[in-house]
Amino acid sequence: MTGPALEAPRTTPPSSKRPGRAPRLRLRSPLSIWSILPRPNAASLPDIVMFAAGLAIFYGIVEVGRNWLGPFRPQSEISRSVAALPVYAGYSLLRIAIAYVLSLIFALVYGYVAAYRPRAERFMIPLLDVLQSIPVLSFLPGVMLAMAALFPGRQLGVEMGAILLIFTGQVWNIAFSFYASLKSIPREMREAAAIYRFDWWQRFLQVELPFATIGLVWNSMMSVAGAWFFLMACEQFTDFRLPGLGSYLQTAADNGDTRSIVLGLSAMIAVIVLIDQLVWRPVIAWAEKFKIEQVESTNAPTSWILEFLRHSHGVAYVRKRAFRPLREQMVRHFAKNDDAPAREAAGSGGRLWAGRVAGTILLGLIGYAVTRVVMVVAGLHGAEFHEIGIGLGATFLRVNAALILGALWTIPAGVAIGFSPRLARIAQPLAQIAASVPATALFPVVLLILIRLGGGLGLGSIVLLLLGTQWYILFNVIAGAMAIPTDLKEAASVFGLSGWERWRKLILPGIFPFLVTGLVTASGGAWNASIVAEYFHFKGQTYSTTGVGALISGATDAKNFSLLLAGTIALAAVVVTTNRLVWRKLYRLAETRYKLES
């Protein structure tokens, strides 16, 4: 009988029998390992790129955390090596990114409260206008010292001080944009939200935030572009120099290294272009779906990055497994409960008394501050008050002249860019680069040209104000032009509207709410920039002209704090008065007459 059961056992050669030793492992060659791995294809390429980007971001977070949580270094050694530029660019970009996230959160909360609380709106919007008009960089040393004292012995304090100052340069126009969008939501959308019994969280996610998205995107672009100015100032601060592109350029300029200056500016422009391609262009193409229209545009913005992400299985998996359940859980959490009114009624008495106590304390603090201010200002002479009045009038005329000149070219240019995605692909990164160049860096060049032409700083200060404010109008007009529904454009074409009639009946009403926001933020930026535009140090000489900005800067140099305080209060008073008499009425007009509603 034969078969497998009767097969003779195999024997091992005597030479290979070594009792007491484990069998040897056979090592595969790298080529054979590569052959058994799954072959990458075009469908998995987005996931591979996203995984590599995630590893890079994780490594960056670890390195930054190790640096920021380390000991305080008042004077960081800045290398002018080309290899150090990517690291410095990463540090600068991280500071801008953190400040932007904080600005966006603050703007959403502030704008929401101001839009839906009429009593709070009366002082929150003028306060926002005043805050954006105050020259932030005048407080740079104090903020840096305060944050360093808050985190003693840690580099984190100085970094937080820089982020806070960048935040103050980014947040105001985003807050104004969100506030204006909430005030312009069509009545039909609010009625639909009420019919479907949306709670405040559902209304925020599905009505208010989508409606405000286009304005938020373009104002965010302007904020990030303008943040480079504050970033450079913070990184170049003498007592607390931080590693970044600003300190790199300052070190190169101090050593007369033209090659490093060119490399630093090239790195800055490269970062701006990368942000445009990797962030803003995909976000603009994504935000197109939030446009209120019944006819889809045939010439919508596109982005290869957005298409790349849409084909990523990993992004789809994370959205399905993480973001969607989180969103549903938050909706359930904020949903209205039947016993919510009872709880609210039960706790209303305690909240009322707490509010009264807090209000009393706040009024006491305000009264004390006003008393101290009056005591300080009372020491000024009549000639100094006369000088403040003349300076306010001169600066007021320059600010309005800069606004008019800026609106004359930014409105037609912004409408052309907003109506043409092909033109936007070319003009958008150029506008970001131009807006990102710190206006103070161009001041010496403009001033030198004006001196050679025989002009003074009185006329030149208007040009300098224009350099720092025109971009606010341009970016808001672009957002307004892009938000005009396609069906309205087609209806205007069907009815044969062209030329001035098209502008009067379609374009100007469509962009009006965005234009008001641009003018408000540009006005605040102009008052802020007057501190530098009217009083400038150049080649060891001081050039100045009549104006409240020159008065404040001169008082700062002379350490005349009474005159400095009086000039700042007068500037704030003019800003509040303008807000009450002009901007509030224009916002009300945009809210009541120029809404997109049937």
Average of per-residue pLDDT across 129-148: 73
CB 217 within 8 Å of CB 479? yes
pLDDT, averaged across the chain? 80
Say if residue 73 is exposed, middle or buried (CB neighbours under 10 Å; 0-12, 13-18, 19+): middle
Question: What DSSP assignment string belongs to 78-99?
Answer: PP--GGGHHHHHHHHHHHHHHH
Is there a contact between 233 and 169 (Cβ–Cβ < 8 Å)?
Answer: no
Cα separation values, 266 from 99, 276, 434, Å: 23, 15, 13
Is the confidence at residue 6, as pLDDT, over 50?
A: no
State how far the alpha carbon of 48 is from the alpha carbons of 36, 281, 497, 574, in Å.
Answer: 18, 22, 51, 56
CA distance 369 to 569: 13
Written as six digits, the tokens of 343 are 């709880």
Asked whether residue 482 carries a pLDDT value surpassing 60, the answer given is: yes
Segment among 316-325, 368-377, 471-480 with least mean pLDDT? 368-377
> Pick from 585, 594, 582: which is nearest to 513 by CA?
594
Q: Which two tokens stand for residue 44?
A: 């998995």
Identify the CA nearest to 547 among candidates 396, 445, 404: 396
Ordered structural domains, the chain, with CATH:
74-302+353-592 (1.10.3720.10)
Query: If pLDDT is split at 50, 70 and 90, which confidence band does 16 have?
Result: very low
Contact predicate 134/527, CB 8 Å:
no
Q: What is the pLDDT of residues 380-425, one digit of tens each?
A: 788 888 888 999 999 999 999 999 999 999 999 999 998 888 888 8
- In the DSSP assignment, the letter for residue 503 is I
The DSSP H or E segment spanning 538 is strand 535-538
pLDDT in tens, 64-86: 777 777 777 766 678 888 888 88
What does the DSSP assignment read for 110-174? HHHHHHH-HHHHHHHHHHHHHHHHS-GGGGHHHHHHHHHHHSTTBHHHHHHHHHHHHHHHHHHHH
Pairwise CA distance, residues 587 & 129, whole Å: 13
Res 435 pLDDT > 90: no
The residues that bridge with 538 in the sheet, in sequence order, are 541
**Long-range own/partner contacts, residues 150-158 (CB < 8 A, 24 or more apart):** 152/72, 153/71, 153/72, 154/68, 154/69, 154/70, 154/71, 154/72, 155/67, 155/68, 155/69, 155/70, 155/71, 155/72, 155/73, 156/68, 156/69, 157/72, 158/72, 158/240, 158/242
- Give the span between the Cα atoms of 193 and 202, in whole angstroms: 9
Mean pLDDT of 427-443: 76
Q: Give pLDDT, residue 8.
A: 46
Q: State the Cα–Cα distance between residues 357 and 364, nearest whole angstrom.
A: 11
The pair of structure tokens assigned to 568 is 């700042």
Residues 6+ apart with CB under 8 A from 185: 207, 208, 211, 595
537 in helix, strand or coil?
A: strand
At 335 the pLDDT is 67
Of the candidate ranges 35-44, 317-326, 401-410, the one whose mean pLDDT is the lowest: 35-44
| Count of positions (residues) in the chain | 598
pLDDT of the residue at 539? 64
Q: What is the pTM of this model?
A: 0.77
Whole-number percent of the chain with pLDDT over 70: 82
- Find tokens 């004292």 and name the residue: 149
| Residue range 5-18: mean pLDDT, rounded | 48
pLDDT score of 5: 44
Q: Which pair of tokens denotes residue 95?
A: 């500071």
